[in-house]
Amino acid sequence: MPIRHVVDRHRLDNGLELAVLPDPHSHAAAINLAFKVGSVDEEVGRTGFAHLFEHLMFEGSAHVAPGEHMSALEALGGSVNAYTSSDRTVYHETVPPGALELALWFEADRMRTLDISQMNLDAQRGVVLQEKQQRYDNRPYGDLLLSLVGQHFAPEHPYGHLPIGSMDDLAAATLGEVTAFHRRWYRPSNAVLVIAGAVTTRDAITLVERHFSDIIDAPVPQRSYLPDDPAYGHEVRLTKPVPQPVLHVSWRAPGATDPDYLPLQLGLKILGEGQASRLHRRLIQELGIASETHGFLLGHSRSRSIASIECRPTDGVTTNDLAEALTAELEAFEGPTERELRRIRATTERDWLEELATVEDRAAAAAELWLTHGDPERINTYLDELASTTGDDIARVLSERATVQELHYLPEETK
């Protein structure tokens, strides 16, 4: 029987919501502060702002020097990091219990008095440019994800660009525009704070009230579910200096908040995760036309997601041949066997329990479920949802594919 985690919730008068997951057996405390703002909230011509603030947040505040937040906590044995997605920006720390109050003080100080100066803006624009060059421009397949997104969303759609944004947009952004973006979204009522590990609920609430309660809130803009263009989509063929061809077959899928999202996750695992998966056995072991297969989901909270299956053909096999065989396997899929269903439930349960084993991952899981489904206590019911998902659910969701797109990423020598 899995351990049931205590999840205590508290709301400050300024709208900041707190969830505490006390663990008396832990020797560390984890903080996960997630702002409900991501690249989906950016305007056309002003992209990359949410990711920019992932960097700017470490450039100092009224009582903290640039870089001090991270260096001070790391000097005490802690770890500090952040990430930006389409739907959220997350700042997280794991520290010894005695450093918890200091970490919360750092978070509160930058929520209250972040230093958004022209000097910091110019410096972090340069950092983001270097990141884009390293992660996207100067590495093989670096533009693959952007091309995949571009098959399903027009460039002007809020989900039509990656969090890294456009370097031209960042170069043109004024200090006033960047400051206005921060003022609009980085508010107490637009954030959730999860604290897990070596702290009692009473002490956590006391510390959070002490350091965050005086931060002034303001309403954030109303947001709604975003429709996509049902007619948008096209096949993509890219020829680049890459070592091997890659094929992606993708389609629009249920959004991350949809009850069908979990069955689709399981279905993609059944098809493409591990050597026991359906596609590995068929395309790699039996037909010998692929060397690698994966299934993955690019989840969106406010619109339909993107489901994709990636395959790499073996030598002498074209991506066209592989696409034909892969499409035939998808069309023939009528649901998992009982053995496949047992396997994927077991591996998913194992992965989930491993994720909850550390306080930092437990805090992250609670925050993710809170932001997506409105309830951090879903960490205690996730396995029930997993057990109740049937083979018929998986078959139905995988059959609901419309406008399937192919992305052929080819080495230059195949011209």
Tens-level pLDDT at each residue, the chain (415 residues): 667 999 999 999 999 999 999 999 999 999 999 999 999 999 999 999 999 999 999 999 999 999 999 999 999 999 999 999 999 999 999 999 999 999 999 999 999 999 999 999 999 999 999 999 999 999 999 999 999 999 999 999 999 999 999 999 999 999 999 999 999 999 999 999 999 999 999 999 999 999 999 999 999 999 888 987 666 677 899 999 999 999 999 999 999 999 999 999 999 999 999 999 999 999 999 999 999 999 999 999 999 999 999 999 999 999 999 999 999 999 999 999 999 999 999 999 999 999 999 999 999 999 999 999 999 999 999 999 999 999 999 999 999 987 899 999 999 874 4
pLDDT of residue 1: 60
CATH code for the part of the protein at 8-212: 3.30.830.10
pLDDT of residue 414: 46
Report in angstroms the alpha-carbon separations of 325 from 233, 292, 319: 21, 14, 10
Say which CATH architecture domain 236-414 belongs to.
2-Layer Sandwich (3.30)
**Residues 376, 10: Cα–Cα separation, whole Å:** 12
Closest CA to 40 of 404, 262, 304, 279: 304
**Residues 66, 251: Cα–Cα separation, whole Å:** 43
Under DSSP, the state recorded for 303 is S
**Residues 272, 274: Cα–Cα separation, whole Å:** 7
Closest CA to 93 of 81, 77, 83, 102: 81
- The pTM score is 0.94
N- to C-terminal Cα separation, the chain: 57
pLDDT of residue 17: 98
Collect contacts of 59-63 with beta carbons under 8 A, ≥24 apart.
Answer: 59/115, 59/120, 59/123, 59/124, 60/110, 60/115, 60/120, 61/109, 61/110, 61/112, 61/113, 61/114, 61/115, 62/109, 62/112, 62/113, 62/115, 63/109, 63/113
**Residues 290, 222: Cα–Cα separation, whole Å:** 46
Residues in a beta bridge with 240: 411
* 3-state SS class at 81: strand
- The segment(s) of the chain belonging to CATH 3.30.830.10 are 8-212, 236-414
| Residue position matching structure tokens 């069955």 | 263
